Amino acid sequence: MCGIVGAVAKRPIAGLLIDGLKKLEYRGYDSAGIAVIDAQHQLKRLRVAGKVRELENALSTQPLYAHMGIAHTRWATHGVPSEQNAHPFISHDKFALVHNGIIENHSILREKLLREGYQFLSETDTETAVHLIHYHYTQMGDFLSAVRAAVNELEGAYALGVFSTDYPDRVIGVRQGAPLVIGKGQNENFIASDPLALLSITQQFIYLEDYDIVDLGLHAFQIYDRQGQAVNRETHTLSVGLDAIERGEYRHFMKKEIMEQPEAIASCLEGRITKSHVLPAIFGPKAETIFPQVEHVQLIACGTSYHAAMVARYWIESLARIPCSVEVASEFRYREMAQSKNSLFVTLSQSGETADTLAALRLAKKMDYLSSLVICNVPGSTMMREADLHFLTRAGVEIGVASTKAFVTQLTALLLLALTLRQQNKQADEKIDRELIEQLQNLPGLIQKVLQQDEMIANWAKAFTEKQHAIFIGRGTLYPIALEGALKMKEISYIHAEGYPSGELKHGPLALVDTSMPVIATVPGGTLLEKSLSNLQEVRARGGKLYVLTDQTHLFHQDAFADAHIIPMPSLHPLLTPILYTIPLQLLAYHVAVLKGTDVDQPRNLAKSVTVE
Ligand code: AGP
């Protein structure tokens, strides 16, 4: 989603703002812009409908020399991606403003401002905010008071960065539902949507809370809370190395992140398990008193995180014997539900900022849940700060919009949750638990082996570049993995792909299967093997092209499957197959996208951190 960077410094800031925007590119955007106050105290602005590098090119021909300014990457919501709709927006050459989120009452405000004589040059909701600040400034004559008065009128979830030519060394930031951090420097201060934008400048960050307004100056800043009281917020030191946010030897972040999965899982497990059991306090000290009371688990998430939640339902019910419900956040928020007794509310989110999931968490906190737990990859994110209990997945920074290493660590965390609930629910069986944990520890090594199949998967990919459709199938815990494989394919290769439980094919989707339809199947050995093989026969009988991931390769040497394409998989405990079988599906989507020449790390229309509803 949109990215904001703002700076007040003694040194020239245009380059810093552009660097910041580059670091925010991963969030997804379609246009970019920058506004500054130059040495002559004039407001100068440059905008492009396109990438940050185009803005950078434009800046090289029209340099902006300034010590303060704001910059923005826009992910279109109201109005097409165009220069006219790109931020920053300006009012009367005096105020410039950037915005992330949605101003819901913009139509009413626009009418009011039109009546006051303001002219609108864009189709955006944002332009109302800058004119509204100007309007209040003409009434009140004070910058901070004008921003406050405008914010009181704005409805929605958003973050703002704004400056005025009357105050050439101040930038005001507002957080109301969308993330905004302060980056503290030496005689310079910054704001940004994400600390990553500022990591090359500072490691000291303050996460603003909802309704906070920060008045940022060169040597100091002051935060005000909802009541307008000056408040102090905790400073966090982030020690993320810059190499974590560089592509290194890889062509794409997504490939780097796929290859990092063995170490991501190892890091997620580190210090959290012994040889035979999960350490009791890994979900926080309060979990030890809460978990034994849990009679139901409610899992809430969006997209890939939702698929992780779907896998967890199988685990929690089979290992801990606790009933579990799973729902996408945007549905959970808007329906009347019958709440289960003593239910633990669990949100899953890579970013910890997804608007729908965050809203569901806030709703749950007002309901009758036993407690709330978030499983998240971003320390300091809003969900991590607001949930009662938290678990950091430690996958490391994930830049590719298509989630990969964050997903496998979410799965790892959820398996630990199922095992912990099992221990607390007196369901533990030492022999079974020991075996599961041993295999969990071996998982990074097994993933490494699967990653070695990269070339073979790249060969498979060649057959997909001309395809319009693909079907992914799996049974049990591998059904959500089929959904995830299909989502990855859709997101980055733009091929229409669907995931189904293998047994559902004959209830409809089989009508789509003909000689041009690739069907990607996950077929591990185990109790469902025979049933899965029958489903594959149904596909073959209609001429469908089979692509099979299996540890039962011997079965596919027979005539019945002579024309199936096979990737051999290592054998492992059936409960762990969803983690392992995800890897080739990520690689397949990746290679198809590379061959098709799509923007792998920033696929069209998508954003990494979805901070609007
Ligand atoms: C993943 O590949 C997607 N980009 C998307 O579905 C994502 O998982 C979803 O938006 C939820 O994000 P979160 O995990 O940060 O909450």
Tens digits of residue pLDDT in 472-501: 999 999 999 999 999 999 999 999 999 999
- State the distance from the centre of ligand 1 to the C-alpha of 301, rounded, in angstroms: 9
Write down the pLDDT at residue 285: 85
Spatial CA neighbour of 183 closest among 213, 216, 156, 157: 216
Write down the pLDDT at residue 425: 75
- State the distance from the centre of ligand 1 to the C-alpha of 305, rounded, in angstroms: 6
Average pLDDT, the chain: 93
Measured by CA distance, the residue closest to atom 16 of ligand 1 is 349
Task: Look up residue 489 and give its amino acid.
Answer: M
Note whether 2-244 and 454-596 share their fold. Answer: no
Tell which atom from ligand 1 comes closest to the C-alpha of 491: 2
- State the distance from the centre of ligand 1 to the C-alpha of 155, rounded, in angstroms: 25
Least confident interval from 243-252, 344-353, 414-423, 474-483: 243-252
418-473 tens-digit pLDDT: 999 998 877 778 888 899 999 999 999 999 999 999 999 999 999 999 999 999 99
Measured by CA distance, the residue closest to atom 2 of ligand 1 is 402
Q: Where are the domains of the chain?
A: 2-244, 247-450, 454-596
- State the distance from the centre of ligand 1 to the C-alpha of 27, rounded, in angstroms: 11
- Between residues 245 and 350, the one the model is more confident about: 350
Write down the pLDDT at residue 563: 85
Centre a 10 Å sphere on the Cβ of residue 129 and count the other Cβ atoms it contains: 29
What percentage of the chain reaches a pLDDT higher than 70? Answer: 100
**Residues tagged active-site:** 2, 608
Beta strands across the sheet bearing 469-474: 496-501, 469-474, 518-523, 545-550, 565-568
Pocket of ligand 1 (CB under 6 A): 302-305, 349-351, 354, 357, 401-403, 491, 606, 610
Write down the pLDDT at residue 77: 82
CATH 3.90.1150.10 corresponds to the domain 247-450: no
Measured by CA distance, the residue closest to atom 9 of ligand 1 is 303
Judged against a pLDDT cut of 80, whether residue 242 lies above it is answered with no
| CA dihedral of residues 396, 397, 400, 404 (deg, nearest 10) | 20
Q: Report the C-alpha gap between 171 and 217 in whole angstroms.
A: 7
Write down the pLDDT at residue 611: 76
Write down the pLDDT at residue 79: 85
Tell which atom from ligand 1 comes closest to the C-alpha of 606: 4
Tell which atom from ligand 1 comes closest to the C-alpha of 487: 2
- Between residues 137 and 276, the one the model is more confident about: 137
Write down the pLDDT at residue 519: 96
Spatial CA neighbour of 341 closest among 327, 323, 329, 328: 323
Mutate to test the pocket of ligand 1, among 353, 375, 403, 608 (most ligand atoms within 8 A of CB): 403
- State the distance from the centre of ligand 1 to the C-alpha of 608, rounded, in angstroms: 7
Superfamily of domain 2-244: Aminohydrolase, N-terminal nucleophile (Ntn) domain (3.60.20.10)
Q: How far apart, in Å, are the Cα atoms of 80 and each of 96, 111, 154, 458, 568? A: 21, 21, 22, 36, 46
Tell which atom from ligand 1 comes closest to the C-alpha of 403: 2
Paired with 236 in beta bridges are 205
504-547 tens-digit pLDDT: 998 998 999 999 999 999 999 988 888 888 889 899 888 889 99
Centre a 10 Å sphere on the Cβ of residue 469 and count the other Cβ atoms it contains: 14
Superfamily of domain 454-596: Glucose-6-phosphate isomerase like protein; domain 1 (3.40.50.10490)
Model confidence at 174, pLDDT cuts 50, 70, 90, reads very high
28-39 tens-digit pLDDT: 788 999 999 998
Write down the pLDDT at residue 78: 84
Write down the pLDDT at residue 315: 96
Judged against a pLDDT cut of 80, whether residue 244 lies above it is answered with no
- State the distance from the centre of ligand 1 to the C-alpha of 441, rounded, in angstroms: 26
